[in-house]
Amino acid sequence: MEKHFKKESLSEGKIILEYGGILQEDLGKKVHDLILTAGYKMIEGSAGNAVYEKGSMALRIIFGAFVKHFKFAVIVSPIEGGDMRLEIAKKTSGAAGGLVGMKQVKNEFERLSKLLQTI
């Protein structure tokens, strides 16, 4: 299987991944499938431009860091040269779980980035 990932860059609250040799629709589908296998559900949008969530925000508020809750937005878009850009943005800070919750969100954000680099 050909690997399309090229490079990662970080921006305020976002991770940007670049891919080559893959069409926008194909990358969107692969990202969608990989995120679903990681236990997330799509709560809005469509493959390649969606918001995904894992866990319960209500339970996170009640029980704090004992309950995990993650929410991320992903957007696939073309960039010059025929390459593709995948932007992953945090849609929750983890603050409802205190410092531990914030660290959990940061770690999951990084884990998700590494997972998507396997494409």
Give the total residue count for the chain: 119
Q: Which of 66, 52, 74 is nearest to 96 (CA)?
A: 66
pLDDT per position in the chain (119 positions), as tens?
689 999 999 888 899 999 999 999 999 999 999 999 999 999 999 999 999 999 998 888 888 788 888 999 999 999 989 999 999 999 987 787 788 888 888 999 999 999 999 99
Q: What is the pLDDT of residue 45?
A: 97
Instruction: Report the alpha-carbon distance of residue 85 to residue 19 in Å, rounded.
Output: 6
Per the listing, tokens 């025929």 go with 82
96: how many CB neighbours lie within 10 A of its CB?
A: 20
- Protein fold of 5-116: TATA-Binding Protein (3.30.310)
Q: How far apart are CA 38 and CA 56, in angstroms?
A: 16
Helices then strands (H, E): number in the chain? 3, 6
The whole-angstrom separation of Cα 62 and Cα 57 is: 9
> 9 near 16, Cβ under 8 Å?
yes
